[in-house]
Structure 1
């Protein structure tokens, strides 16, 4: 660990020179890249420098104890040595966590796709509940929610809803939400009072830049058609709806909520790039998992991750075996406790893998 920290400190010094170099400052993109890298490693370097000071302090205290000291002064040095040893252990733990590789997507906006799964109309209503939950959570964080595309069902709720959440760190918080969400409750339409189980799937994708995903336009088939509402009736007199098909991957994206074909096309390409990027990352993670025989990440959209049980008023996350009993507040966006627990679990697992 110390070798890595020495390397990072030297790199930090080098970056200090680079971000102060007038020639590099004039090359805006290059300078911004160095500034970002400098900011990312600065907390680690500061902790390491503090750690070195503590090590030096421990060394000096031990040397002093070898000298002939008066009893009172000797006790004072011993107390200081104990404090320094405790601080050393704490700093080692903090540095270990800071050394956990940072997800490069953590600061990005996210595209969230919620689809009704098994359970008929009740699954669509639950998809609407999940959309409200994430929207309310976004509001609590000061983020902006922008609906990109919807497909509604007759009695309320959604067959599918796609929306973007814009805010710093949105992906770092919401990336753990990908997967199958299951609800157990008595539907309003159920006269016998029987508990019904239904599901909705959630996919959380980081918004990606053009430089991260290159799309050859010759690989994309663009179809335009008229937007349709409930029952398939046309709700627009112009061909404003857009469907993109990326032929190499078979990924299809359709957008129809905007009245402008250009806006629908722009949104569709955002989602297409995000899905292609997710596919690439998923394939890389699968290779790592196969090589290391571990489960990588917590974002498999086919994995049942959480159960919302109305009769018991509980939410259980099956990945970390955490149950909370505040269903109403949770569905109103009070999900921070669950997200914090998932982040802690993920960091602990990554730390374990580093130590192996």
Structure 2
């Protein structure tokens, strides 16, 4: 049953915003104009779908009346089922559009990928996952900026932290969070045996300064020469920055830039986002004991997705979806997976009457 009163209220607010956005008072206030424009943009698809739905209802009513007309009965009997199917589809779309939006969905996102179980093969897989995310971001015309990178001795990444900026980044990448498991024959395997390794992928909305207040006295900052692969210029400058947040014990390192100031700025970005994610997790856990942690311990059993290279197969264990196009997925073709995960989340929201669910 559609909440008609709510839809009519949304429509009234949309018309009010259109009127206000033409007023001199709003046009002369950029902050207010931006806020109202954003609200109007959010309401527009709801109003458009509601109007299409009403038009369908009108046509269905006319067709039902025409059933009593011998000259029109055959025609409307063929058309009516199609209109009713479209009406039901559109009614479901309207319900989804009315679901509460996650305020983080439009934010830029910090992605952290770390190798888990499996030694050097896990580090190679972590690098493959990062490339997959980068290719997906490239298709979305998002920008990926590496904040910190720790390479493994035989190739691959022990850890990579990156900032992804663009339109609605978090709303898409949020579904990639968790433990990813790979099954394949490593390049170093002489016997051709399949090995199982893992990597963890954390996805956090980028925090603004106003979201997280950090007192300087709560920070312990140390500087050192950058280490690991990266060339002489990186290794010999005292540019690596480590920041410890004393109240939580959280430690962030950044050595990707030669500039100490740039590394400190990047490290603070990561720290703010981690603290925001920590606070949001606490709030969610207070509301529900069912919340799963984003990454877990990186043990093989705590997996959200399995990548089986010999069978060219990817299985997302959260929704039981298996796709036989691993080669394309590793090239960033994630749309089918993300669309299915989003649909599953929307179905849960609808089942709970539109109340926020725990991710």
Q: Same fold (TM over 0.5)?
A: yes
Aligned CA distance change for structure 1 residues 5 and 157 (closer, same or farther; 3 Å): same
3-state secondary structure, aligned to 1:304? coil
CA deviation after TM superposition for structure 1 residue 133, in Å: 1.4
CA deviation after TM superposition for structure 1 residue 158, in Å: 1.0
3-state secondary structure, aligned to 2:256? coil
Residues 1-356 of structure 1 aligned to structure 2 (within 5 Å): 1-58=3-60, 71-73=70-72, 85-229=84-228, 235-290=234-289, 295=291, 300-302=294-296, 303-354=302-353
4+ long deviations beyond 3 Å: 52-62, 73-88, 233-238
CA deviation after TM superposition for structure 1 residue 58, in Å: 4.9
Distance 1:311 1:268 in 2: 39
- TM-score, normalised relative to structure 1: 0.87
Distance 1:222 1:76 in 2: 77
Could you tell me which runs of 5 or more consecutive residues in structure 1 were left unpaired when the two chains were aligned.
Answer: none
Aligned CA distance change for structure 1 residues 72 and 279 (closer, same or farther; 3 Å): same
Query: Which moved further from structure 2: 198-207 or 185-194?
Result: 185-194
CA deviation after TM superposition for structure 1 residue 162, in Å: 0.9
Could you tell me which runs of 5 or more consecutive residues in structure 2 were left unpaired when the two chains were aligned.
Answer: 297-301
Distance 1:104 1:126 in 2: 32
| Contact 2:234-2:257 at 8 Å conserved across structures | no
Distance 1:4 1:70 in 2: 37
Aligned CA distance change for structure 1 residues 249 and 82 (closer, same or farther; 3 Å): same
Aligned CA distance change for structure 1 residues 266 and 325 (closer, same or farther; 3 Å): same
3-state secondary structure, aligned to 1:151? strand
Distance 1:196 1:249 in 2: 36
What is the aligned length?
Answer: 346
CA deviation after TM superposition for structure 1 residue 144, in Å: 2.2
Distance 1:50 1:326 in 2: 36
| Contact 1:227-1:234 at 8 Å conserved across structures | no
| Contact 2:241-2:263 at 8 Å conserved across structures | yes
Query: Which moved further from structure 2: 51-60 or 317-326?
Result: 51-60
Aligned CA distance change for structure 1 residues 126 and 58 (closer, same or farther; 3 Å): closer
3-state secondary structure, aligned to 1:354? coil
CA deviation after TM superposition for structure 1 residue 306, in Å: 0.9
CA deviation after TM superposition for structure 1 residue 305, in Å: 0.5
3-state secondary structure, aligned to 2:288? helix
